[in-house]
Amino acid sequence: MFLLAADTSGKDGSIALAKCGPGDVYEIIEVVPLAGGTFSAQLVPQIAELLLKHQLGKQDIDGFAVASGPGSFTGLRVGLAAVKALAEVLRKPIAEVSLLEAIASTSGLRGTVMAALDAGRNELYVGEYDVQECATALNQSLLTREEFLASVRGYIVTPDASLADAARNAGLPVKEIPRPRSDTIAQLGWKKILAGDTVSPEVLDANYIRRSDAEIFSKGSS
């Protein structure tokens, strides 16, 4: 079966096509980068081009995996909307994967792992996970950098070099890894599909962790 994965959560994104087999057997066929700021114009044409290149049609896709956040409000909406539409038409399963889960799962660590992503404004998206065979979410929150460094439990894992440096300077255990791409989303998504951990297009939604500026300003002016 073929799995299509998308990640439009960050400044740049990507889509991945994977061939999956029995058990956890899978092979990444290709990863296509998407330039930031143009996801809405690129995503659907790039999916069509990727499938055509490998002599596949939309009907050949057997499942979808998508990064559900946290991240860019606009970027996440674009990726989720495309996956929702395709999955609804094709009636195929969707696996939603948190970026924080992807960071914790690919760290190579076991036990309590604190996955952290830069959220801007001196804030961090933080997910605490118990990582064994898979990553089980314990909690997620939005913290200032100072709050996070003062409350760390377990090992920090982050793709943010400045945060990794700050943790080291504070004497905290930290592992810096590359930011997960759509191929990682595909890998974790396939495991979720095998486990029956899927969502319908109607239920699929972004995991923003914090409110958008529009929501904040609207509430403040009401």
At 22 the pLDDT is: 76
- Regarding pTM above 0.85, the answer is yes
Q: Is it the case that residue 222 has pLDDT exceeding 70?
A: no
Q: Is it the case that residue 35 has pLDDT exceeding 50?
A: yes
The model's pLDDT over 152-168, given as tens digits with 9 standing for 90+, comes to: 989 999 999 999 999 99
Question: How confident is the model over 82-98, as a mean pLDDT?
Answer: 97
Residue 211: band (very low, low, confident or very high) from pLDDT cuts 50, 70, 90: low
Give the long-range contacts of residues 34-43, CB within 8 A, separation 24 or more. 34/8, 36/10, 36/11, 36/12, 36/75, 39/8, 39/13, 39/74, 39/75, 39/78, 39/79, 40/78, 43/6, 43/8, 43/15, 43/78, 43/79, 43/82
Q: Is it the case that residue 4 has pLDDT exceeding 50?
A: yes
pLDDT cut 90: percent of the chain above it:
86
Question: How confident is the model over 185-204, as a mean pLDDT?
Answer: 95
At 25 the pLDDT is: 73
Q: Is it the case that residue 221 has pLDDT exceeding 80?
A: no
Question: How confident is the model over 33-42, as a mean pLDDT?
Answer: 89
**Mean pLDDT in the chain?**
91
Residue 103: band (very low, low, confident or very high) from pLDDT cuts 50, 70, 90: very high
Domains contained in the chain, CATH given? 2-98+180-221 (3.30.420.40), 107-176 (3.30.420.40)
Q: Is it the case that residue 217 has pLDDT exceeding 90?
A: no
